Amino acid sequence: MKFIPSLLLILTMNLVQAQNKTLNLIPQPVEIKQNSGSFTLTESATVGFNKPESREIALMLVQKLNTPTGFGIKAVQGNKTTIQLNLNAVPDQVLGKEGYTLVSTSKGISITANQPAGLYYGMQTLIQLLPKEIENKNVVKTKWTIPAVKITDYPRFGWRGLMLDVSRHFFTKEDVKLYIDEMARLKFNTFHWHLTDDEGWRIEIKSLPKLTEVGAWRVQRYGHFGDRDFPKPGEKATDGGFYTQDDIREVIKYAAERNITIVPEIDVPGHSMAAIASYPELSCKKDTNTFVSPGCGFSEWYGNNTFKMNVENALNPSDENVYVFLDKVFTEVAALFPGKYIHVGGDECYKGYWAQDEGCQDLMKKLGIRHVEDLQGYFMNRVEEILKAKGKKLIGWDEILDGGISPEATVMSWRGIKGGIEAARLGHDVVMTPTTFAYLDYTQGDRTVDPPIYAGLRLNKCYSFEPVPDGVDAKYILGGQGNLWTEQVATLRYAQYMTFPRAWALAEVYWSPKESKNWNNFTKRVENQFERSDVAEINYSKAIYDAIVKAGLKDGKLTVTMESELPDLEIYYTIDDAMPDKFTAKYTQPIELPYGPITLRVITYRDGKPIGHLITLKREELERRAGN
Ligand code: ACM
């Protein structure tokens, strides 16, 4: 008899543990109640919706369920189905525009929301609750079970975005749709489409055909951006592409069906070399030899955001024809994109050619402007007038604050968070997208393993981002984004590698309650998403399994420290030209590197098995890291 109470205790504990099992959801919902039991999807299931507005979502769900199960589940309007999608007759104040509740029991599943967007997100949660095989493109045999839960969920921020730069490398509309699919799975609702830059103009403007006849094409070059050769005389520009207006409409519709608004970016007055190559008269020098940049080093960077452009890439703010040009561009852009925002860039505009231009000097005199920098304020205000006349709101990079902009303009803070703080102080709406937390082009692992870019950004740094800075009124912070610049990203597979898992962290930063943040719990869910992504054939970086190797100088000695983003990794190393494994030295504390031409080799293990990349660092690289 004595063992019975302890047996009961063990049984009860098992039940509690089962109930508190981590549900592998990203982003983490606001509230999860786990109940005992589960629901198993079978062939006899039906998907129902109570209002015709939800039909499209029901059809998407049916397609997603039928693909790997091979079932013939149907979507029907009605009330008594297995998976019921219901729109509330009376809005639930807690759920707002995008929230939902999801209840699963052994009998079935119900998702309830105020608007179709909420049902769409409830559907994404349901898909993540199903086994990973749900991501299969072919029929697979498994038990399609989900745990019994009650989830109440809604986003922290209304702007949850990713930006894709399609100028530095062109991505086809099919690529863009696949990128949008992944965004939708993570409950992102804003796709910032960086459509123009020095390296290519990607949107058809019917009244300005040369923008795509000339501006969408550059000479073929490979290699590190900025180190590539300039075009040679007579060399054909064959690399590039653009979206026709029909393509754009198709992508907008596709995104809208996935609750994603597209914010198009036309980057002016700087970053405009492709436009100037098409229409040289838009610049100060009007040089007809201006080309679309293939990623050659036409700029010089001096730190602290100071730079010089050796090829003119800014529109001339003193020329009225430039505003006629912009009016044509924005007339067509505004007619295509139904969203209220148009992004007008404004970043990194070099004013050296303006300073030497007679027209600009006359304009400065006329306006009483002493510093050429402030001409950008004049330009941006003219652009804003154009947008307002078309019923659109201006959003731009934080440089739009320089020289003054109307309080209605929305500021995208990218040079850290200071632009966002300043903008909010001035009463602007702000979207937070600082390089320090949200730049997805930065290297995510060791720069000797991942193709190096000029800066690094680890997953845990992304996850630690708090978009509302201390002392800032949260009402001004619309939300945030991750930005994928593609100077070094030529394919969709690699775009995925750069985006994930960091965009999973940002999805959670922008959706989930601040209080629910928990790195260790998040990384468990990340590892589950790795498995799901493998099934879905989505690429991602495994840099979290690698050692982080830092070097410093202590008492004149080169000292190496190693750590990992995951708490349960063991780090092994060698300095004797042997390959490291779990029988070589285990890292426990900073090591002093002995004198000599030493190579440090580092590997990580978990549960007795190697897991990370081998990192090989010569003394010179360690000295570089130490700042020598
Ligand atoms: C930017 O990264 N130039 C906005």
pLDDT at residue 17, as a whole number = 41
348 lines ligand 1 (CB under 6 A): yes
| Active-site residue, 348 included | yes
347 lines ligand 1 (CB under 6 A): yes
How wide is the angle at C-alpha 567 spanned by C-alphas 563 and 568, nearest 5°?
110
- Which residue blocks in 85-187 are alpha helix, DSSP H? 116-129, 173-185
Entry pTM = 0.95
Distance in angstroms (rounded) separating the CA atoms of residues 598 and 600:
6
In this predicted structure, the answer to whether residue 451 has a pLDDT above a threshold of 50 is yes
Q: Ligand 1 centroid vs 386 CA: distance in angstroms?
A: 23
- CA 382 to chain CA centroid, Å, is 30
- Measured from the Cβ of residue 70, the count of other Cβ atoms closer than 10 Å reads 11
For residue 348, the ligand 1 atom closest to its alpha carbon is: 3
Give residue-wise pLDDT tens across range 185-240: 999 999 999 999 999 999 999 999 999 999 999 999 999 999 999 999 999 999 99
In this predicted structure, the answer to whether residue 7 has a pLDDT above a threshold of 60 is no
| Active-site residue, 235 included | no
Q: Out of 135, 319, 332, 348, which one is annotated catalytic?
A: 348
Q: In whole angstroms, how far apart are CA 273 and each of 206, 217, 324, 485, 489?
A: 19, 12, 18, 17, 20
414 lines ligand 1 (CB under 6 A): yes
Confidence of residue 304 (pLDDT cuts 50, 70, 90): confident
Mean per-residue pLDDT over the chain, rounded? 95
Confidence of residue 80 (pLDDT cuts 50, 70, 90): confident
For residue 439, the ligand 1 atom closest to its alpha carbon is: 2
Give residue-wise pLDDT tens across range 29-61: 999 999 999 999 999 999 999 999 999 999 999
Q: Ligand 1 centroid vs 435 CA: distance in angstroms?
A: 8
Question: Which domains occur in the chain, in start order?
Answer: 3-153 (3.30.379.10), 159-512 (3.20.20.80), 546-625 (2.60.40)
Distance in angstroms (rounded) separating the CA atoms of residues 373 and 523:
45
Q: Which of 226, 231, 250, 224 is nearest to 172 (CA)?
A: 250
CB 411 within 8 A of CB 380: no
Of the residues 197, 265, 347, which should be mutated to test ligand 1's pocket, given the most ligand atoms within 8 Å of the CB? 347
Confidence of residue 371 (pLDDT cuts 50, 70, 90): very high
For residue 412, the ligand 1 atom closest to its alpha carbon is: 4
Of the residues 167, 485, 487, which should be mutated to test ligand 1's pocket, given the most ligand atoms within 8 Å of the CB? 485
Q: Ligand 1 centroid vs 348 CA: distance in angstroms?
A: 7
Q: Ligand 1 centroid vs 144 CA: distance in angstroms?
A: 45
Confidence of residue 555 (pLDDT cuts 50, 70, 90): confident
Please, what is the angle between helix 55-69 and helix 116-129, to 10°?
10
- Measured from the Cβ of residue 273, the count of other Cβ atoms closer than 10 Å reads 27
In this predicted structure, the answer to whether residue 5 has a pLDDT above a threshold of 70 is no
441 lines ligand 1 (CB under 6 A): no
Confidence of residue 14 (pLDDT cuts 50, 70, 90): very low
| Active-site residue, 271 included | yes
439 lines ligand 1 (CB under 6 A): no
In this predicted structure, the answer to whether residue 19 has a pLDDT above a threshold of 70 is no
Rounded mean pLDDT, 385-408: 95
Q: Which residue has the tokens 């426990």?
A: 588
